[in-house]
Amino acid sequence: MPGPMKIRATLKGDYTDIRVLMSHPMETGQRKAQGKLVPAHFIENVTVKVNGKTVVEAQTSQAVSRNPVFAFRVKGGSKGDKVEIGWVDNKGESNKTEAAVA
């Protein structure tokens, strides 16, 4: 079961600053443990929606660290806007969470 996620979205004048923390092992498929390769396991897609409208659609790879933190700036926005962020990894596992712009 995927670990927790946390979004912090703050209105900063004419843009909204969105930060999201994700728990994920982000295995590259290159690392060995006890002599055996650890299978690749990483987030492939991140989607950010503000009030139901997709604002960021990102493709990510093994190059991203374990427990990644992403930050986005979205033009405009107002307090109370609903921010939804979800990810899907290469094993088909997914997680999502939402928060309101503060």
Length reported for the chain: 102
Task: Measure the CA–CA gap between 10 and 101, rounded to whole angstroms.
Answer: 5
Q: Does 29 bind other proteins (CB under 8 A)?
A: no
**Closer CB to other proteins, residue 19 or residue 49?**
19
Q: How far is the CB of 38 from other proteins (least distance, A)?
A: 9
Residue among 13 and 71 whose Cβ is closer to other proteins: 71
Q: Give the number of residues in contact with other proteins, rule: CB under 8 A.
A: 14
The C-alpha angle 94, 95, 97, rounded to 5 degrees, equals 155
Terminal CA-CA length for the chain: 29
Cβ 59 to other proteins, closest distance in Å? 20
Interface with other proteins (CB under 8 A), residue from 10, 67, 76, 102 = 67
From candidates 35, 52, 53, 71, binder to other proteins by CB under 8 A? 71
Asked if 66 is part of the footprint of other proteins (rule: CB under 8 A), the reply reads: yes
Tell me, what amino acid is at 54? T
**Sheet order of strands, 43-50 included:** 53-59, 43-50, 82-89, 94-100
Helix or strand (DSSP H, E) at 62: none
Site residues, other proteins (CB under 8 A): 3-6, 21-23, 25, 65-69, 71
